[in-house]
Structure 1
Amino acid sequence: MSLSPRETLLRLFDKAVEVADPTRSLADYLPEKPRGRCVVIGAGKASARMAEAVEAVWGPCEGVVITRYGYARPCQYIEIAEAAHPVPDAAGLEHTQRLLARLEGLTEDDFVLALISGGASALLTAPAGQITLAEKQAVNEALLASGAPIGQMNIVRKHLSCVKGGQLAAAAWPAKLLCLMISDVPGDDPALIGSGPTVGDNSTGEDALSIIRQWSIDVPRSVARVLSKKTGVLGTDDPRLSNVTNTVFAAPSQSLASAADLGIELGLQPEVLGDAIEGEAREIAEQHAHLAILRQKNLKANNSPLLLLSGGELTVTRLGNGVGGPNAEYALALALALNGQVGIHAIACDTDGVDGAADVAGAVIDPSTLARAHQIGLDATAYLARNDAHSFFEKLGDQVVPGPTLTNVNDFRALLIYPET
């Protein structure tokens, strides 16, 4: 039995998530368990699943990893702690201190395995200087609402932290450290994944201040004071990084390639537009709508449907007070730009199952989206204006809610384009 367009899109998203499951490939990157003391640490929305994969290979081992509330896994030996994401909380602060305590007194004969995935920036919480948790939370919320790209946000986060920008690796020195990472950032730069807790960075506090000024973010005096001085971020040539190996073992490109392969099996013509697309969600949506309509005009009636795939990390400049996220906002803007164009369907979801701060991965749209919204009194333009895309799709029943996916390779977008009839 042939699949409907919606079923096809959901199958493609499920495939992208499945391929990024840490239990599929992490073991291939693990060395033999060291004979001396071995400490496992980590943070991120996939970190508990990663720890589960480590225990399956290594057996008993000590350590602490911090994951998002609801993302814990039943590990027997590694302690799984939960905290808030995307805005840090007191639990994250407490757990980070316990994690750091595990690294005290290590020697060059010891070994540290770090498990880092997207979400670690919020979950590893250790404010620098005299910055309070409340001030750190306010800055983080402002960054998320500003529309700044993830790379710039993470530069600011590094210089406001005692663990990011290589400082976690410094805490483990002189032990050998292997960091296994799942990428959720465009370009898969290890320095950006979770704000690079085991990776040096040559940016400065002044660079962070420039970003704050660029995006008109108000910050407390304590934050400006920390950034105006030399922070603890390690330069890339810091000797405390000489024993560190950073390895990205799962990335968005792999998920998009697997979705493309599935698309071929389903009789589609896949094309990957890119795995590192950045920009304002509604602007990228308009570009993709224009591209989809152009591609459709070149399809003949007997051609197989096209499948346009893309990943990366879109942003939202928050102007309203609605409930939304980059993927839902993209989907709503795409629906408006397509304006009911027959034969074009789409999905936009975050592979971690959380779009923005909502426990919703994203949404699906089809040619009837706007008409169905109008029938029940929903003004799509107004919902987009107040950044309330999640509420819009909830009322239509078009949300994608997979629950915790236990991985995170960022945005997954697919446009399914049928020939015009």
Structure 2
Amino acid sequence: MYATDSYSALLVPPRPAGLSDPRALLRDLFDTAVAAASAGHCLPPRLPAPPRGRTVVIGAGKAAAAMAQAVELHWQGELSGLVVTRYGHGAPCRKIEVVEAAHPVPDEAGQQAARRMVELVGGLTADDLVLCLVSGGGSALLAAPAPGITLADKQAVNRALLKSGADIGEMNCVRKHLSALKGGRLALHCAPARVETLLISDIPGDDPALIASGPTLPDATTCADALAVLARYGIAVPAHVRAHLESGAGETPKPGDARFAGHRSITLATAQQALEAAAARARELGIEAHVLSDSVEGEAREVALVHAAIARQVAQHGQPFRKPCVLLSGGETTVTVRGRGRGGRNAEFLLALAAALDGQPGVHAIACDTDGIDGSEDNAGALLSPDTLARAGARGLSALARLADNDGYGFFDGLGDLIVTGPTRTNVNDFRAILIV
């Protein structure tokens, strides 16, 4: 016969040590996910063998400098090259030049880097290797407008796409057909050298041709597809830009094109790998983890409603999972900007999640961009607790009012709940974790 206390202990599992500080636990899971997607971790084992001739390294993206650094540290033989990354995302390299440029709207620095990249791969031979390092953000950073299109044209279209609510595939479809290098065209400049592309994926579904608009990979989309995206979101473009698309002048090389024979692409890191690493870390701490999806898309505030409904079901009914547990998801949501506030898609997600949960006891959450920059702000994301709305009310902050103004940054900044990491130099998109205790 057991005493009452002992019998209760048999029915109720011991509380995992990690649950004593939910916020620290959630930050730990995010840091684990980022580390799993870092270039230093995932790139060295996938390097190709050196060629008989020269090795030239080129690349673009938020992780490009860290990838270049990893290549330098582990490459056997001579190499040279140039990569372009976002301002503040550089890394020290000795043989590969690192240029910093603007993101998400391209600038002259990115355009100049693209021109120099083309010059570097000119005159190569079949004995040479071009190692192309590609990660999310490369679409804006590798700024090479097609003939007849100006940098100002591309900047205006980029701004409109970013505000429209278009998903990343739709945005990159338009970008490819207004570019001189995206959609496989950069690889054509490398001929007859062999091209090996190493990628860190920020694309739901991890289609290599979509990452940074696929500068070295053939493109299955068309100018007609790009025009359809512009029409779908009501994006007006100058007459000469429309004529460029309607005439077919912006068409990209397609799958099956013999000019890509012998080339290879390898995806090094994905959202799924980052989520699996975070799940393994949670289980190490004694907390069951469930990956809902690595490729969630849609409006951030609508995605939040679905996550809130699942979290409430777990918290109130123990379905479909028993608590304590953590729910993990990745992908890339969108925000249709209607207000004048500050905040990226992760802050928007958390703000909508807070409103939907309405103080549900025992539910904590984190949402961050794995590149360390939520949209164009200086934070990676933010944290949410059961008392978020109560603390906000005490400070005169309305979640619904801030959501209507797209001001997730201002809301969480007012609570001291922003997460600021600085650039992580990788990018596998959104990371969300909801802890239910």
Shorter-chain TM band = over 0.9
Deviation at 1:198, TM superposition (A): 1.0
Residue 351 of structure 1: aligned partner: 370
**1:174-193 Cα deviation digits (max 9, x unpaired):** 11000000001101100110
2:253 is aligned to 234
Q: Distance in 2 between matches of 1:280 and 1:232?
A: 30
Counterpart Cα distance in 1 of 2:318 and 2:356: 20
Write the distance in 1 (CA, Å) between the matches of 2:53 and 2:312: 60
Which has the higher Rg, Structure 1 or Structure 2? Answer: 2
Q: Is the 8 A contact 1:47 1:115 kept in 2?
A: yes
Residue among 40, 53, 57 paired with 1:40: 57
| Pairing 1:18–2:26 present | no
Query: Does 2:174 correspond to 1:156?
Result: yes
CA distance in 2, matches of 1:400, 1:109: 47
Superposed CA deviations along residues 134-169 of structure 1, whole A, max 9, x for unmatched, are: 111110011011111111111011001011100111
Residue of structure 2 equivalent to 1:267:
286
Q: Which amino acid aligns with 2:174?
A: V
1:55 matched to 2:72? The reply is yes
Deviation at 1:111, TM superposition (A): 0.9
Cα distance in 1 for partners of 2:30, 2:172 equals: 27
* Greater Cα shift, 237-246 or 396-405: 237-246
* Matching of residue 93 in structure 1 with residue 111 in structure 2: yes
Aligned partner (choices 324, 341, 345) of residue 360 of structure 2:
341
The match for 1:138 among 134, 148, 156 is 156
Query: How far apart, in 1, do the equivalents of 2:115 and 2:166 lie?
Result: 29
Distance 1:404 1:278 in 2: 23
Deviations 1:214-269 (A, max 9, x none): 01111122221111122241111112111310110111111100100111111211
Contact 2:341 2:406 in 1 (8 A): yes
Residue matched to 1:129: 147
1:188-207 to 2 correspondence within 5 Å?
Answer: 188-207=206-225
In 2, Cα distance between equivalents of 1:12 and 1:252 = 13
Identity %: 54
Separation of aligned partners in 2, 1:144 and 1:85: 11
Counterpart mapping for 1:159-198 below 5 A:
159-198=177-216
Q: Secondary structure at the match of 1:180?
A: strand
| Secondary structure, aligned partner of 2:90 | coil
Cα distance in 2 between the residues matched to 1:161 and 1:321: 31
Distance in 2 separating the partners of 1:118 and 1:129: 25
User: What SS does the corresponding residue of 2:43 show, helix, strand or coil?
Assistant: helix
Amino acid at match of 1:20: A
Other-structure match for 1:147: 165
Choose 234-243 or 403-412, whichever is displaced more. Answer: 234-243
| Structure 1 residue 32 displacement after superposition | 2.2
Matches within 5 A, 1:250-289: 250-289=269-308
- Selected match of 2:122 from 104, 110, 115: 104
Find the aligned partners of 2:355 and 2:173 in 1 and give their Cα distance. Answer: 34
Computed over aligned residues only, the root mean square deviation of the Cα atoms, in angstroms, reads 1.2
CA contact (8 A) 1:129 1:226 kept: no
- Write the letter of the residue equivalent to 1:347: I
Which residue pairs with 1:219 in the alignment? 237
> Residue 279 of structure 1: SS of its match in structure 2?
coil
- Single out whichever of 179-188 and 26-35 deviates more from structure 2: 26-35
CA distance in 1, matches of 2:340, 2:193: 47
Alignment-mate amino acid for residue 380 of structure 1: A
> Does the residue aligned with 2:84 lie in a helix, a strand or coil?
strand
Q: Name structure 2 gaps, 5 residues minimum.
A: 1-16
Q: What is the distance in 1 between the residues matched to 2:263 and 2:290? A: 37
Give the conservation status (yes or no) of the 8 Å contact 1:162–1:232. no
Q: Which moved more, 1:357-366 or 1:343-352?
A: 357-366
- 1:298-324 deviations in Å (ceiling 9; x for gaps): 239xx6511100000000011112111
- Alignment check: 8 A CA contact 2:340 2:405 kept: yes
What are the ranges of 5 or more consecutive residues in structure 1 without an aligned counterpart? none
Q: Distance in 1 between matches of 2:282 and 2:241?
A: 48
In 2, Cα distance between equivalents of 1:56 and 1:7: 33
Q: Quick check: 1:383 aligned with 2:402?
A: yes
Deviation of 1:33 after TM superposition, in Å, equals 2.0
1 CA distance for matches of 2:227 and 2:168? 16
Do the aligned residues in 1 keep the contact of 2:369 with 2:429 (CA within 8 Å)? yes
Q: Distance in 2 between matches of 1:391 and 1:97?
A: 39
Please tell me the residue identity of whatever aligns with 1:100. V
SS at match of 1:307: strand
CA distance in 2 between counterparts of 1:396 and 1:19 reads: 30
Tell me if the contact between 1:267 and 1:304 (Cα under 8 Å) persists in the aligned partners.
Answer: no
Partner of 1:4: 21
Task: Say which SS state the counterpart of residue 272 (structure 2) adopts.
Answer: helix
* Alpha carbons 2:343, 2:410 under 8 Å: kept: yes
One-letter amino acid of the structure 1 residue matched with residue 198 of structure 2: L
Q: Match for 1:338: what amino acid? A: L
